[in-house]
Structure 1
Amino acid sequence: MKLSDFDFDLPEELIATRPAKPRSSARLLLARGDAIDDRHVYDLPEILRPGDRLVLNDTKVIPARLSGLRTRPGAEGEGQARIEVTLLTPRPDGTWTALIKPLRKLREGEVIEFSDRLSAELVARDEGQGVLRFDLEGDAFDRALQQVGAMPLPPYIAAKRPADEADREDYQTVWAARPGAVAAPTASLHFDAALMAALEARGVSFTHVTLHVGAGTFLPVKVDDISEHRMHAEWGEVTEAAAAEIAATRAAGGRIIPVGTTALRLIESAAQGGQIGPWRGETDIFITPGFEFRVAHGLMTNFHLPKSTLMMLVSAMMGMDRIRAIYGHAIAERYRFFSYGDASLLLPRG
């Protein structure tokens, strides 16, 4: 399969830069088998069945975007320089990998000051990224980051406007619990407390798993033959209790519906032996048409970028011709796309 197989024309004005308010008022494209219905997220209690189980990613987005000053004492004509940092991944030794602009202006051993409470030293370079050691650890680091960091909005939103205080709430799920993501599991942003209560009353169950979404989720595919693409790795965990809940629902005839591609990729990673089980580690699973889904019966997800790995994933779920028809309908009906956009519920068997 070629990268061009997953391309489509998207009008610029359909890219959402703010979410729907309230969250559950977002539109929902319901694709059941060969049928398409235009609904809203708040209709989920009518659409889902008692006994269904939603799998929710409980990762918490950190305010990973930082702006600081590098001072190079004694360097004539340079003095202070503005440095932009996006944190990527914590490392076992306490350092962080980060995208740094401009990295070329920094020397190893130099310090970036983000505030009077937080600074970091560049300790190494690694494949075009910087490795930073902060002067704070643990809770003190988390508190300082909350004060000086901004939410790491996706590039297609950040190019249109800067992150602001509203994004601290908007770009976080209501069940976020485990800090570590630098991008939100965006299908989950459509849920609020009232919707969760209505789903529970309907007899729908919830299972929480964790996949810390990395900035690699926004990296473009650069090869024409998609079999040559290598996915970025992300850390995740399916606990023993979560695996048991999912297995019990399947055994009872209920449907497993991940909310978001991150939750789907994680539970399918945990079932590569054939059945879901406890799992912990890094996954680089790449789901393309022809993939055999072992756990998920469907998927709730937003609308994705052309030629992205996520377009390949939803094509694997629904079939390539079917997903083209679904996206054609979404564009014709003016659905809002990408992270702050509308949602789809994909149920290949109806």
Structure 2
Amino acid sequence: MSNLLASVDQRTQLVGENRLELLVFKLNTRHLFAINVFKVREVLNLPKLNMLPGSHPHICGVATVRGTSIPVIDLRGAIGMRPLNRDEECNLIITEYNRTVQAFLVGQVLNIVNTSWEEIQPPPVTSGKNNYLTAITNLIREGKNEIVEIIDVEKVLAEIVDYDVSVSEEVIDDQVIHHLNGHKVLIVDDSITARNQIKDTLSPFGVEIIEANDGLQALKLLKHWADEGKNIYDEILMMFTDAEMPEMDGYKLTHEVRNDPRMKDLFIALNTSLSGNFNEAMVEKVGCNRFISKFQPDLLVDVVQERLRQIVNS
């Protein structure tokens, strides 16, 4: 338990400070790629993989790690390149996303980089809508300035495991649900896949969706409304925000909103693929109203109904 509490304390020290750590690796190309260390459980040399007949083409097998079977995704193949040639430099990055554990087959794992979300930029517009990146950053390595491409893991996973946007009947509150029609919800997430998941869940109930790609874009929109004299609570019912985004993360966004008297009571749900026992500590520190681990349609609707009840009963 003491180790768990120490982990909670260590992780939450970064909350609201707009910082992150990236695990940088190669895919047997000259390009550098990365994912957030926060989602990495461990890195292993490539073990023997057992085949999984009938699985998705990008699942190259199953690894047994300390008695647990973990599906392995060929990350190079999953982002549109030829499958990875396995050699002595290959590694597995074991991750936890959306309450599931999976491993990614990669090439050489280089190092961990501590940086700021302000140094993380969206992918170039010329990369198109079908790229597999959420962001890019620059890294000085061996005296050279190199671009690091940050993988949109949520898009990769969504293409391998289809997400279900259906909502259980027992979750729907008949006394509340019809009041949702016409209300607007702000969704803040750098992954278009994640934004679409929320939109596809809430739109059938008549909810209008406003989208922002990152925390800074969302904050500018909220401040613009406030500067125009608009009541933020009339403009949107609530906001769903991801934790990890370029330029400004969800923690910093929440911190800024809570410190602006014009919007400090905005209902904010942190909707992130990060999961684990430290989440409640993170939510408490930044001042979010709710935490939701992606992707759970029932919980999305439950949270929106909770917010609407507050308004109806006030």
Into which bin does the TM-score normalised by the smaller protein fall? 0.3 to 0.5
TM-score under structure 1 length normalisation:
0.31
TM-score under structure 2 length normalisation:
0.34
